[in-house]
Structure 1
Amino acid sequence: MSNANRKLELLAPAGSLEAATAAVEAGANAIYLGGKMFGARHYAPNFDDETLAGVVRYAHVRGVSVYITVNTLVDNSEIPALVSYLRFLYEIGVDAILVQDVGVASIAAKVVPHMPLHASTQMTIHNLAGVEFLAKQGFTRVVLAREVSLNDIKYICRHSPIEIETFVHGALCICYSGQCLMSSMIGGRSGNRGQCAQPCRLPYSLVGSEGELLKPEDAGEYLLSPKDLCTLDLLPQLIEAGVTSFKLEGRMKRPEYVAIAVDTYRQAIDRYLASPSTYSVLPNEVKDLAQSFNRGFTSAYLLKNEGPDMMSDRRPNNRGVHIGRVTGYDAQSRLAIIKLEAPLSVGDIIECWVKVGGRVNITVTSLMISGRDVEAAEAGNEVAIPVQSSVKLNDRVFKTFDIRLTTKARSFFAEGDGRRKIGVAVSVTAHKGQPLLVTFQDETGFCGQAVTAFITEAARNRPLDDTVVAKQVGRLGNTAFSLHSLTADIEPGVMVPVSEINDARRRAVEALEQARLEAFSRPPLPVKPAVLLPERSSDRKSRTRPELSVNVDTVEKAEVALQQGADIILFGGETYSHHPITTEDYRQVVAAARRCNKRVVLTTPRIVKEWQTPLLKKTLELFAELAPDSIGVTNIGTIEIAKQITNLPLVGDFPLNIFNVAAVNFYAEHGLVGMTLSPELTFTQIADLTDRVPVTLECLVHGRLPLMTSEHCIVGSRLGGRACGSCKATCEQRQYWLRDRKGERFPVVTDQFGRMHILNAKELSLLPHVAQFGRIGVNVLRIEAKAEEPKRLGHIVSLYRRLLELEAEPSNELLDQISSLEHENITRGHYFRGVLKD
């Protein structure tokens, strides 16, 4: 998008009314928030409809845009409520909605066609092709994945036809957003439904095949917990790269955090725009941000893959700011002596990191310097404070709550006059025999005017003068405005009651507010929306038994699967075998499938960064030459690229998060002839889908599902010396697992691109329920076998083949084989429990 047409936006989170006020008053150009439905922060306070409408009005009067998160996957049963909600958001003047689900986007395009659409980071858009695809679907903005580098951001911005938004501060996910199933599969709380339980912030151990602990001596146990993003020093590069919107994370954070983050980034952006050549980060800015909340700061992947330097492996929550060390402790008086390296005040909260016993939290109720009580002490002083628990010499001290900074932060959202004011020019005309005329005009030209019913008359005692007028029209404390200038045309000797002036001022302000609000107005909606949920029809269900597909990453596994009865082979994309897939591998798999008269789908990687795009194009050209039955696509960008290179049929994989009939129809309209449904659906939800759509639908039935996909590799980071792009490829030498607090072991594998995939500790198995898929009209059952050994894979495929061929109940012998294969470490996934929560 052209920089000449770009207006920079500082976008702030608002998880509560106080946070929304803090964001606006501190200088945000836009805020993003969620209602009570369909938002990706289910556990934030969020807003009911009435409060939401009030926030929109409050923000719009002050020239601030409001974006609403509608960025969860939506069930068919929720579509009527979604339609009503979208209409409500449109009617109250919301400026855009953020969406993850392409089904939601397609519904919004029909129900609220003039509502701008922003692609949430949950859509996992990480390349230009993905941006271009969404631009063609009417999206006006894309929030890029946090894994996109600064160079790629620059490239995407330079060529993008729509706005680009990127995160600049706040918490990071270790997994690509929208691709994480860990919370969902191990705890039933889906990140795709706004209910993430943050298992990435829990302790894990990296272990080998015998359960032995594998980590450097200085490593912590929070192996999946990243530091927080901070980009103050990179703002110039991001601005010059062409980013439109600079997004602060934090809808689950306190309003004080929002106030400090917005105020800091507002001042930094304005300082750069005013004088790019002299821009620098001020020392207090990083300190204030860290004091408000930090796990340590990182630039994440913007400049490079930082490896272990990106991780907060010793503490997954706020660590505060280091302010000194304990230099003495008197057990009798329970006084700790601390040598300060930063200021400390009464009312602050500190934490001593003791060598034995973890952390000691202390509220500073008094401070003494040389036996003298003080309210505050500066760096360099040695202070005595009362403590309830013993501390040790040289224990580090961190300030986790700063009373002075908190007081400053609360001033942004405290009840009162407000800090963000719009200057107005006021004119007052008072002529004898005429009404009083009061006009308010803001700096952008909007006007509000009021005329009194009272007719100006001759004064008996005190004639009206400029001083009285200025005092009364300047009483704007609880409004969005401040008096910038006053022009008074007052005929000498006239009188107007103060009450009339005040009433005219109030009505002029209301008229000006309304004029400013009308700038956000849109055309009215049609009375009756389109029908969006196709009728159910049992005729749509397949009357033939489901076919069996197997997803593999080696020629050997493909041949085994074909020999044991697979109907379809999926081959390609990521491989866990530590050997890149070659052209000859593709040729051999296609040939093997043809010999068996079976179908073959050549697949593409889940993640395709810009540097991989040329390789993807060459691979797709090879696929066009080999002519498989179809090509498997796993992200939106690959759909765009594949359609430019080949006319072969496309099938969509489960990372596309296909959850409802609208999503199925969306992808069908864009050329996908088959789709793998989300593994978060239940049998009941799937039956409702197959009743409504005529396309081929596939379900995952067996294997260790990938729960996380990450650019951060734990094995390389901890054991392979992976930093600044180097790695000893330790992952190729043995197998690794993450062990959680309950003793569950999650396989950790690395693909040919150096990305880490964490697989489920439990193996998905639907062997006892194969017949159910046929009864509800599923066309294809899929075995995920990239992490499987060939011999065991053959046994698994054989069992599914036999079950699919059954015309009667399975024999005892077959049931025994199923029982022997299904060890205790298996799961039925979400087919019976699902992720829908009240």
Structure 2
Amino acid sequence: MEILAPAGNFEAFFAAIEKGADAVYVGIKGFSARAYARNFSLKELNFLVAFAHQKGRKVFVALNSLIKENEWPEIIKIALALNQIKPDALIIQDLGIFWLFKNKFPHLPLHASTLMNCHNLTGVKKLAEMGFRRVVLARELTLDEITTIKKNTSVELEIFVHGALCFSYSGLCLASSYIGGQSGLRGRCRQPCRFLYQWGKEKGYFLSCGDLSALELIPQLQKLDITSVKIEGRMKSAEYVASVVEAYRLVRDASGDEKKSALEYAKSLILQAGGRKLTKGFFLGINPKDVINPKQPGAFGLYVGRVIRKEKGEIFLLPETEIQIGDRLRAQNESVGKGVSWKVKKLEKAGNLLKINAPEEIELGYLLFKTITPEIKIAKSDKKLKSKLKQLVAPIKFKPSSSKEKHLSQWIYTQGLKKSQKVSKKIIWWIRHEEIDYFLQHPLPSNSIPILSLNFQIYPKLVSNFRKLLNKFPNIVLSLPPIILPQQLNFFKRAIVHLSNLGFQHWHLANIGHFLLLDGIKDLILSSDYTLNIANHLALRSLKSLGIRNLTLSLELDRETIRKIINYWSPQNLIIMVYTRPPLWTSRFSLKPFWQNAPLVSPLGESFYPIIRDEITYILPETPISLGPYLKELQSLGISQFGIDLRYILRNKINKIVTKKGIFLPREYSFNYKRKWA
């Protein structure tokens, strides 16, 4: 079983190798799902790969950001360089990146990032069928669910065993983007799940999860023959990486009679590394009780106190745990979760207080956490390590080639779909709801396509009313939810076959695993939901090759990105969501222990509303997204298909928006459309 370690800088890379990691995953500058990590240039990566291979280790490159249309020139350079450097695999989420490497660099192994939201067996099988060598499973799976998947597939499986847990399924979180345009899918998450929220009369960190630790479960994972166990932390220090890698390697390598003592020592290493309160997450069951503690600040580290006085370059606190020279501390604004880290170089008593050096930006009242102790000894200085690396290895010489860049660029743009010369002036409205009675009782504009959400509650009524629905709307579309839990798969398989036999031909897919649920059913017409996160024309090409006729672009896109996509793809079969109240967090975590009949209110005053559907928690914003004022602008680009999602909109508001005479969209929040999507 491979131990896969993170490295956000040279120190962490060397620490991982020295402590026994079998493989290290690193990011490329600008195109990593940890954009705030240091990450590596291509020249630096060249040395890392050469050094790792010299030591018999592997390097995986996380090229797992969503790609904008204007980023292809840089991606072309990266792709050609990677073809020469030959890392052991690429970790990706963008279907455009998948299409590029599958077709032009098929010898480079591809790993499906957890951001592809693979959370059940159909997802794993479909990704394997597409050509992925390895699938990184969602963190929300139990050991029993992982066991079932392992027994039914031969593709390599990788699971997260240690590090930060997100409240939302990876790939489905829009919270950071909605609040401030910083997309988690592009590695720029501002961690709104770590905020201090007001919920009814209570204040708490209701969405802030503890840190995952499966150290004690490593023997079980070995018996399962899991390919790789992954440690999260490209933003973490080298000391942290060293300590955690050593801990997991000790437990993995210990023989039967050594397991107990190895585990005890490994636990001490984990505690020494620092972090949030540890939890086994979903590994032992679907209702973990220890993941969220609203009273525990969402910061990383051991709580040491609060800043009660400040002078130039120094802060004062009443320490609640020991601090020493060399400790690494983190100071955090209690409400918003933003923090700053530094090393203790100066420390002295001032009465009953402790005075230490600190960055100027730290304010009174900030919470202080110890994130690492100085006991873990590793090499220091990124600059020195970089120089050392150049002396130790002679990597391959890769040279940029303008002719190859030109040929690859030409190929990429030939993958587009040519525009029709005719621009349709007739708008087609894709109108979504989750209540059958709405479609049976309310008139829609003549140019409408109704979308009805399929779930457990709707299925019996759908079967009993199928003739009425198909007679009134022969073009009605049934949509599948983005999360189908493993125990729900059989229901959806049976329901899809039954409903297809009754005459429902149009299906709206929200996850890559949905393709396999529909496999073998003839004469279907497929469309895709925005949760497939499409942001460029190669991703559109990839989905079209899978049989999608009408393609919904990512909800996060700004006007510039949409315009650039349309330069290379016919707008006729694109759907733009122009009105929706989307889930910002989609989670398997239940908030029932803390449930209050009130909105979650952020430190910035925004209100968010939790609801539950089929065992999944969705947290909705108060204000819907509306691109109503920009319809004419979008039409001028040739787009004629627009999506309206009414599922979470109040009825009196719906009746004003959708009428027999037409659609009347109110002015609401325009999301990223006007501002730059980052």
Matched, 1:611 2:487: yes
Shift of 1:769: 2.4
Q: How does 1:737-756 map to 2 (within 5 A)?
A: 737-751=599-613, 753-756=614-617
Cα pair distance change 1:236/1:546, threshold 3 Å: same
Shift of 1:275: 2.4
Q: How does 1:485-496 map to 2 (within 5 A)?
A: none
Aligned residue-pair number: 637
105-114 or 555-564: bigger deviation? 555-564
Aligned match of 2:176: 183
Q: How does 1:518-557 map to 2 (within 5 A)?
A: 528-529=407-408, 531-534=411-414, 537-539=418-420, 542-557=423-438
Q: Equivalent of 2:623, from 762, 767, 779?
A: 762
State whether residues 347 and 364 of structure 1, in contact with CA within 8 Å, keep that contact through their aligned partners in structure 2.
no
Shift of 1:690: 3.8
State whether residues 291 and 321 of structure 1, in contact with CA within 8 Å, keep that contact through their aligned partners in structure 2.
no
Cα pair distance change 1:51/1:592, threshold 3 Å: same
Show CA shifts across 1:224-244 (max 9, x none): 110000111111111212211
Amino acid aligned to 1:92: I
Amino acid aligned to 2:128: A
Matched residue SS, 2:439: helix
Cα pair distance change 1:399/1:539, threshold 3 Å: closer
Aligned match of 1:320: 302
What is the distance in 2 between the residues matched to 1:150 and 1:15?
29
Show CA shifts across 1:77-120 (max 9, x none): 22232122111112112111110011111101123221000000
Larger radius of gyration: 1
Q: Equivalent of 1:786, from 647, 652, 658?
A: 647
Q: Equivalent of 2:565, from 689, 709, 718?
A: 689
Aligned match of 2:130: 137
Aligned match of 1:430: none
What is the distance in 1 between the residues matched to 2:638 and 2:319?
72
Aligned match of 1:678: 554
Shift of 1:831: 2.1
Cα pair distance change 1:742/1:183, threshold 3 Å: same
Aligned match of 1:774: 635
Matched, 1:58 2:41: no
Identical amino acids, percent of aligned pairs: 29
Shift of 1:170: 0.2
Matched residue SS, 1:783: strand
Cα pair distance change 1:287/1:686, threshold 3 Å: same
Amino acid aligned to 2:545: E
Shift of 1:479: 9.3
Cα pair distance change 1:149/1:628, threshold 3 Å: same
Aligned match of 1:711: 588
Matched, 1:631 2:531: no
State whether residues 129 and 641 of structure 1, in contact with CA within 8 Å, keep that contact through their aligned partners in structure 2.
yes
Shift of 1:312: 4.0
What is the distance in 2 between the residues matched to 1:545 and 1:684?
23
Cα pair distance change 1:351/1:187, threshold 3 Å: closer
What is the distance in 2 between the residues matched to 1:123 and 1:306?
23
State whether residues 540 and 693 of structure 1, in contact with CA within 8 Å, keep that contact through their aligned partners in structure 2.
no
Matched, 1:72 2:39: no
What is the distance in 1 between the residues matched to 2:521 and 2:149?
20
State whether residues 505 and 523 of structure 2, in contact with CA within 8 Å, keep that contact through their aligned partners in structure 1.
no
Q: Equivalent of 1:620, from 490, 493, 496?
A: 496
Amino acid aligned to 2:133: T
Shift of 1:684: 3.6
Cα pair distance change 1:602/1:336, threshold 3 Å: closer
Unaligned runs of 5+ in 1: 1-7, 208-212, 324-333, 354-360, 368-383, 390-396, 419-477, 481-505, 519-524, 720-729, 804-816
Cα pair distance change 1:349/1:600, threshold 3 Å: closer
What is the distance in 1 between the residues matched to 2:353 and 2:345?
9
Q: Equivalent of 1:293, from 269, 274, 293?
A: 274
Shift of 1:412: 8.4
What is the distance in 2 between the residues matched to 1:351 and 1:664?
42
Cα pair distance change 1:417/1:769, threshold 3 Å: closer
Shift of 1:613: 1.0
Aligned match of 2:363: none
Shift of 1:706: 1.4
TM-score of the superposed pair, with normalisation by structure 2? 0.85
Matched, 1:831 2:673: yes
Matched residue SS, 1:802: coil
State whether residues 227 and 298 of structure 1, in contact with CA within 8 Å, keep that contact through their aligned partners in structure 2.
yes
- How large is the Cα RMSD of the aligned pairs? 3.5
State whether residues 507 and 526 of structure 2, in contact with CA within 8 Å, keep that contact through their aligned partners in structure 1.
yes
Aligned match of 2:250: 267
TM-score of the superposed pair, with normalisation by structure 1? 0.70
Unaligned runs of 5+ in 2: 306-315, 333-341, 357-366, 397-402
Show CA shifts across 1:553-610 (max 9, x none): 1122223554455611111245xxxx8113223553x544444455210111211122
Shift of 1:74: 0.9
Show CA shifts across 1:713-766 (max 9, x none): 22x1313xxxxxxxxxx8xxxx54211112211121110x22110112321122
What is the distance in 1 between the residues matched to 2:492 and 2:44?
48
Cα pair distance change 1:659/1:746, threshold 3 Å: same
760-769 or 164-173: bigger deviation? 760-769
Aligned match of 2:370: 400
Q: How does 1:426-505 map to 2 (within 5 A)?
A: none
Amino acid aligned to 2:481: P
Shift of 1:12: 0.5
Cα pair distance change 1:241/1:644, threshold 3 Å: farther
State whether residues 4 and 25 of structure 2, in contact with CA within 8 Å, keep that contact through their aligned partners in structure 1.
yes
State whether residues 282 and 288 of structure 2, in contact with CA within 8 Å, keep that contact through their aligned partners in structure 1.
no
Q: Which has the higher contact order (CA 8 A, sep 6+)?
A: 2
What is the distance in 2 between the residues matched to 1:562 and 1:780?
19
Matched, 1:585 2:465: no
Shift of 1:366: 7.2
